[in-house]
Structures are given as structure tokens and as C-alpha cells.
Amino acid sequence: MNKQLSVASDLKNIRHAVDEIIIMLKGLQVDESDMFDIRLCLEEALINAIKYGNRFDKDLEVLIDFACVNDKINISVEDKGTGFDHNKVPDPTKEENLLMGSGRGVFLIKHLMDEVRFNKKGNRLTMVKHLKKIKEKPKRDQ
Amino acid sequence: MKIAQKQNNDITIFNIDGDIDINSSPEMREAFEGIASAKTMKIVVNLSNVSYVDSSGLATLVEMLKKTRSYGAKLRLASLAPKVKSLFEITKLEQLFDIFDTEEEASANF
């Protein structure tokens, strides 16, 4: 199963895009815990893409690629920005950063998804979730 | 999001109902302003009807905590759903907040 979406860079558009993905996940009967993780990580990725990548320019789109292959969900989020170095994001769990107002999005993505990759430029994030269980469709009687 | 407030003697219970995310957290911040400007000293934020929080929701809760600390008040969180609580653990925010299983426990021994 594959789906591609494009989202104009307005935070209000995030909900609709995520809802489309959630509908597909429900169709696959994804575990509630995995659903929560995927929803959160997708939203965090979209917020960053809109806010920092495309700088709220509504003429610039964020592209989402969703694929379910075997028991893995692959989601890529790409903005039109110049990219960023995810290794330079401060660790929000350090004592001196706990009271930070923001900066936990990338950290949550790295901890809730099983695989996280950025392209070289830093404007495309790919996240993979290994699902706990996908309920198989009942086999037809022969 | 629905926000309600009630008094339990000298403790203000701040009830949140719904997701706390990028779109709804400004509303929560604004509603909390009233509590903070009244210099309320004992606050319990009841999250029993919150099943989803994103990083902006966490940030807003941190801001609320900082605000209450600035005037010497205490803020406690109560009734976190397991996945929501796990976010506090992953981000080590459980080291910052006093988190209780129920509103009753949070309201006791302030």
C-alpha cells in the first residue's frame, strides 16, 4: 500500500494530512500504541518541515510518502528548504535543557520510530516503524 | 479542546479534555494565564481526558510550570494516560514535574 500527499505550509493543514494516514493505518489494523507513535512522529516531522523548512510559505509544499511493506510502515517527509543538521539539535533530556520551551520533536521521532534517516541535504526525513502486529485478512475457504 | 476549572478548597483543578497539540496548546496557555495572573498557589492539571500530547503540548506544560515556579506556586499533573506518561519519561520531563496517578493523590499533602 502506498500513498503520496502534498501539504501546503500552514500548520492547520497538518490535521487533515495526518487523518488520511491514520485512516490507512486503521485499515491495516495497526496496534493502538504504534498508531500513537506514528501519528506523533508524522505530526512532529510536518511541523518542522512547515516551520523550519518551508518557513510557513504557503506556496511551498511538504511532500509525504507513505508505504506499508510487509510489517513496516515507511514515511518520508520532504520540505523545500535548505535542510538542517539533525545532529546539531540540542539534547532536550540534558539537565540544562529540560526547561526548554521547544526542541523535543526530532528527539521524539528518533525514540519512537525504529529507523530514522535524513538525506544529505537535510530536507527529507524517512521514518520506519516496525509494527507489532498487522492482523491478517481471513483466508478464503477453498 | 475543552478546558474547565474547579476549586477543591485552596487547590485549583485545571481539567483538560482533548488533544494538546500545535493547534490547541495556545488555547491551553491562554486559559492558564488567568490562573497564573491570579497567583494561584496550588494547581492540579488533570489530564485524564487527554489521550494525545505532542512536543508543543509538552512545551506549553513546561511553560506553565515555569510560570508557577516564578511566583512560588506548585503545579502537579494527574491521571496521565500511559502513552502520554511515556512521553514524559522519554523526554525526562518526569524529573521536572510532580506526576500523580489520580487527582485525589495530586491534591493531597500539597
DSSP letter string, A69-123: ETTEEEEEEE-SS----GGGS--TTSGGGTT-SS--HHHHHHHHSSEEEE-SSS-
Q: CA B89, CA B85: separation in Å to the nearest integer? A: 6
Give the nearest chain A residue to B96 (CA atoms): A98
What pairs with residue A136 in β-bridges? none
> How confident is chain A (142 residues) per 10-residue block, as mean pLDDT?
93 94 92 95 97 95 95 96 88 90 91 96 96 59 44
Instruction: Tell me the H-state helices in B1-110.
Output: 25-37, 55-70, 82-90, 103-107
Task: Provide the whole-model pTM.
Answer: 0.91
Which SS3 state, helix, strand or coil, does residue B102 take? coil
Interface of A with B (CB under 8 A): 11-12, 14-15, 33, 36, 39-40, 43-44, 47, 92-93, 98-105, 107-108, 111-112
Q: What is the pLDDT of residues B37-84, one digit of tens each?
A: 999 999 999 999 999 999 999 999 999 999 999 999 999 999 999 999
Strand partners, B97: none
Does the distance separating the beta carbons of B92 and A98 come in below 8 Å? yes
Q: What pLDDT does A141 receive?
A: 46
What is the pairing mode between strands B11-17 and A72-78? Answer: unpaired
Of the candidates B100, B78, B66, the residue with the CA atom closest to the CA atom of residue B14:
B78
> Which tens digits make up the pLDDT trace of A29-63?
899 999 999 999 999 999 999 999 999 999 999 99
Burial of A52 (0-12, 13-18, 19+ CB in 10 A): middle
Tell whether B26 lies on the interface with A, counting CB pairs under 8 A: no
- pLDDT for res A135: 52
